[in-house]
Amino acid sequence: MMDYETVPAADFGRALGGVSVNLLVRDVAATVAFLRGVFGMRAYRVSADFAIMEHGGALFQLHADPTYHDNPLPSLLPEAGPRGGGVEIRLHEADPDAACAAAAGFPGFVVLRGPSDRPHGLREAYLLSPDGYAFVPSRRLPVAT
């Protein structure tokens, strides 16, 4: 098992496979606090510029805008307002009711749609980060008999 707190960046990068997600955020610390406080995520290597986040064994990364100084992606981002339109970050086995209740303690994060039972077999909610990313906590609904 890799130690995410101490692994060199190049070794971490080479270890990634399949699909990987990086979110560009204006404030890494605020986003980490939200993800920990609302979804109970684990955070590693937290700094002003970067964090590795873990939910249910899946990893993704947060990067502050300045870390992408030689990358073309920031030129596509708006100066203000939402960035993540059209992207859902689905957090399976995260309690949508508890997440919405916890989100009230984090300024700038909005409950876009409260918890509801959906026809595709999940109870879910939509929480929007200040950067415009939609986090969707969901739980499986029992099978109707």
Q: What was the pLDDT predicted at 37?
A: 94
Considering its fold, how many domains does the chain have in total?
1
User: Which amino acid is present at 92?
Assistant: H
Domain assignment present for residue 110? The answer is: yes
Range of the domain at 102: 9-140
Over 80: is that where the pLDDT of 65 sits?
A: yes
Domain assignment present for residue 61? The answer is: yes
On whether the CB atoms of residues 123 and 116 are closer than 8 A, the answer is: yes
Domain assignment present for residue 91? The answer is: yes
Domain assignment present for residue 2? The answer is: no
Domain assignment present for residue 124? The answer is: yes
> Per-residue pLDDT tens for 73-122?
677 666 766 777 767 899 998 999 999 999 988 988 889 999 999 988 99
Domain with residue 125: its CATH number is 3.10.180.10
Task: Please give the average per-residue pLDDT across 29-57, as a whole number.
Answer: 95
Q: What was the pLDDT predicted at 86?
A: 65
Q: How far is CA 31 from the centre of its chain?
A: 8
Taking the model in full, what pTM does it have?
A: 0.82
Domain assignment present for residue 40? The answer is: yes
